[in-house]
Structure 1
Amino acid sequence: MTSVDPPHGPRSPEQRKREALERLARDNDVWVATADAAGEPCLVPLAFWWDGEAVWLATRVTNPTGRNLSATGRVRLSFGHTRDVVSVHGTARMLTREELPAEVGDAFAAKDGWDPRKDHPSYVFFQVIPEFLQAWGTVPEMKGRTLMREGKWLV
């Protein structure tokens, strides 16, 4: 083991799933990666709310992330830091503030302390359904890092 490896070796898949779900419930921001039709990447941090099944994002439909999500629905999310990462590949569905269930908007605003529904009218919400989820810390955890595939938990 190197100095950056966990003292007790790699975490079990069950522990990684538990800690990944804790991160989704606790963290305030997520790195959001999208691409346009020409493949030009865009990476930005956004506030989010996890409802237990989907990640909810809010951004302006006029910025690159909003345009990319609207056009393709494809997104990759990265939670945590490089030594404890949760990576999610998912499909995003756009909802206007009028289409958004009030309880989702209220929960998003309560978690983040900011309510996009009361901000600029170009803000929309995206419901991201995870299809593929991986969680790992260091090289010894690379094996077994896939915890969800095709939207189904493997653990």
Structure 2
Amino acid sequence: MIICAGKSEQFDFAMPVGVGMMEVAINLTRLCEAKKPDYILFVGTAGSYGEKKIFDIIESKTAANIENSFFTGGSYSPLDNVVTSVMDVSRETIVNSSNYITTDKKMGPYYTAQNVHIENMEFFAVMKVAQFYKISAGGIFCVTNYCDENAHEDFEKNQKEAMKRLDVYVKERAQK
């Protein structure tokens, strides 16, 4: 099953499941209850914490839910906030998810030091639902912006091109 966020990010090969973690959790759970897929592939855009470049395409099977305040000592979580579909993730790019977009460039090094290189609002929810139903899952992302003060403006400027590149990448990958 190939899914995407929806609204401004839709593909002819993917089913939209919602924007943000809550919509995805609800809608993907409904889909899995109706007919459990063998595999879930999420396709969408992402922001870079600094090392990944605009229009880089990244594949990942690991998601985290880390808030910026964790790195500054302003919060902690008793929950398991990293989920993966594979065992050895030593070189895997971890995708962070939050319902908030990072606009403070100073936060990037904190994330990249933990091998968290991009953020996407939906991926953690995708991976948690997949984990609950014991379904293998992964994601393919195209970077639209850096996580800085221009994040939203750059996202809007680059989203259409990123969507085109994702469309081509996923379709070519399916042919292999």
- Class of the TM-score when normalised by the shorter of the 2 chains: under 0.3
Larger Rg belongs to: 1
Question: TM-score by structure 2 length?
Answer: 0.25
If the length of structure 1 is used for normalisation, what is the TM-score? 0.27
Select the structure with the greater relative contact order (CA < 8 A; seq sep ≥ 6).
2
In terms of fraction of residues, the more strand-rich structure is 1
Structure with a larger share of its residues in helix: 2
